[in-house]
Amino acid sequence: MEAHQEMLKTNKEGWEQAAERFFGRTALPDYGPFAPSEQQLHLFGTLAQKKVLEIGCGSGHSLQYMKNQGAEELWGLDLASKQISAAKALLDEQQAKVTLFESPMEANPGIPLNYFDTVYSIYALGWTVDLKQTLRHIYAYLKPGGTFIFSWEHPIHDRLSYNEDLSAFVFDKPYTVEGPELNAGWHQSVYIYHRKLSTYINALLEMGFKLERVIDDVVFPEQAADVSRWYSTAKAELLPATFIVKARK
């Protein structure tokens, strides 16, 4: 547990420094790089009069989307105070009533149980340092029959990188070895726990969720993303950048 707290401290410091860089990025209706959007997938269905909670709400743009879709109650939590401040400012501009918590997702900061129609997380769940504990909380937050939807970077994505002369991709990290790693995309300044896709699936099942969809389709943008970028079109031609899961309590 002490190691988890140290990783959370490091990650919070990293997000406080980088929050502005991620303002408005990777938010609904988009699920993530090279992934089909909610406009294509229709995973959420009708949101009118629904109570929704976002895990890792970032700058609040996905909560703004929920408001625009008619959600009745908006709730969110995020590790970084700058993200919570940005989300509050954005949603205040929209005159949206929202309840926000600055908290790690591994703890319940006062969120009601058996309350939400929908809990979701857009490119945030993978930051957890304790997946089972986080999923245990999410399961408890949902009403019976409630829906949990999340997206995250596909765990095979950062196993592949360009070699030094940018002439070819190489697998430079093992997919099967799990554990916390200093993340190359963040210049080794934060920890992200590498987990296999099966680990996410099995943890959901262990917590009692019923799986409805697992999606790792690739959708290419009209303009190719340069090979120097973390999410490049060349890499997406070989393997998915994003996976999406829909499950039900």
Residues near 126 by beta carbon (within 8 Å), at least 6 away in sequence: 152, 153, 192, 193, 195
Q: What percent of the chain has pLDDT over 90?
A: 76
More confident residue, 240 or 172: 240
More confident residue, 10 or 150: 150
Per-residue model confidence as pLDDT tens digits over 103-145: 999 999 999 999 999 999 999 999 999 999 999 999 999 999 9
Closest listed residue to residue 179, CA positions, set 162, 155, 163: 155
Query: Residue 134 corresponds to which amino acid?
Result: T
Question: Prior bond to 29 cis, omega within 30?
Answer: yes
Binning pLDDT at 50, 70 and 90, where does residue 164 land?
Answer: confident
Binning pLDDT at 50, 70 and 90, where does residue 166 land?
Answer: low
Q: DSSP class of residue 70?
A: T
Mean pLDDT value across the chain = 93
- Do 200 and 245 contact (CB within 8 A), yes or no? yes
Per-residue model confidence as pLDDT tens digits over 44-62: 999 999 999 999 999 999 9
How high is the pLDDT of residue 59?
95
Predicted model pTM: 0.95
User: Does the pLDDT value for residue 198 go beyond 70?
Assistant: yes
Count of structural domains, the chain: 1
More confident residue, 188 or 2: 2
Q: Which domain holds residue 153?
A: 2-19+26-248
Weakest mean pLDDT among 13-17, 116-120, 160-164, 195-199: 160-164
The CATH number assigned to the domain holding 114 equals 3.40.50.150
